[in-house]
């Protein structure tokens, strides 16, 4: 994309790493079909909501203690150029892939059989609405402690709101539905439904 087609934005390029507290993957709504493997570690703690106490779940400690820590996949965005990139740190780390393969073989009656590799990098371009909505989705993942910053500075919600475009109402939907495309149109749509007995 040439500098002439870049959008004006105060949100600098930034990136996150999937790092869910329960070693889970993240499914992104704004990039349909995009699944980020979360970082895997036996020592992740969960917080008891009643007591506030941090503990390591016993099932994870027993099972995952046999494996080396695995970094999560990363998502990098450049809001000015409307581009994103999904990066898997395992892709170029042959030593960690081999350690992981050996750990799988030691802990399972089955052989891994083939060389493990990470996911090749993926790149893409989004429209202004999807990029704006993706930046907010990424920020929400950080706030929920399901991801961590790995590049740039965490943007403020107010700055994301100033990006060009509108927030999409249901960015993950892959089927046609009667819902409005943008969040700002939802209330009027809902009121119309109510007025007409919908």
Find residue 17's DSSP bridge partners: 74, 148
Buried b (16+ CB within 10 A) or exposed e, 86-115: bbbbbeebeebbeebbebbeeeeeeeeeee
How would you classify the pairing of strands 74-78 and 83-87? Answer: antiparallel
Q: How large is the greatest C-alpha to C-alpha distance in the chain, in angstroms?
A: 64
Measured in whole angstroms, how far is the alpha carbon of residue 192 from the centre of its chain? 34
Report pLDDT digits (tens) over 24-39.
Answer: 899 999 998 999 999 9
| Domain locations in the chain as residue ranges | 3-164, 168-198
3-state secondary structure of 135: helix
pLDDT, tens digit, 9 for 90 and up, residues 78-120: 999 999 999 999 998 999 988 888 888 877 776 666 788 889 9
DSSP letter (8 states) at residue 21:
T
DSSP secondary structure code for residue 103 in this structure: H
Q: Which two tokens stand for residue 105?
A: 């073989």
Has this prediction a pTM greater than 0.85?
A: no
């Amino acid at each position: 994309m040439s500098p002439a087609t870049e959008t004006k934005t105060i949100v600098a390029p930034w990136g996150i790493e999937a790092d869910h507290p329960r070693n889970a993957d993240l499914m992104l709504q704004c990039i349909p079909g995009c699944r980020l493997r979360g970082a895997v570690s036996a020592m992740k703690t969960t917080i008891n909501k009643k007591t506030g106490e941090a503990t390591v779940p016993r099932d994870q400690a027993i099972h995952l203690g046999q494996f080396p820590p695995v970094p999560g996949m990363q998502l990098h965005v450049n809001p000015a150029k409307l581009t994103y990139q999904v990066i898997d740190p395992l892709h170029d780390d042959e030593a960690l892939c081999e350690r992981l393969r050996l750990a799988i073989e030691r802990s399972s009656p089955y052989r891994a059989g083939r060389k493990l590799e990470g996911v090749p990098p993926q790149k893409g371009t989004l429209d202004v609405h999807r990029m704006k909505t993706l930046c907010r989705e990424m920020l929400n993942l950080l706030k929920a402690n399901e991801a961590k910053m790995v590049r740039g500075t965490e943007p403020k919600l107010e700055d994301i709101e100033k990006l060009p475009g509108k927030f999409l109402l249901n960015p993950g939907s892959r089927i046609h539905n009667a819902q409005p495309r943008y969040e700002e149109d939802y209330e009027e749509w809902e009121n119309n439904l109510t007025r007409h007995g919908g």
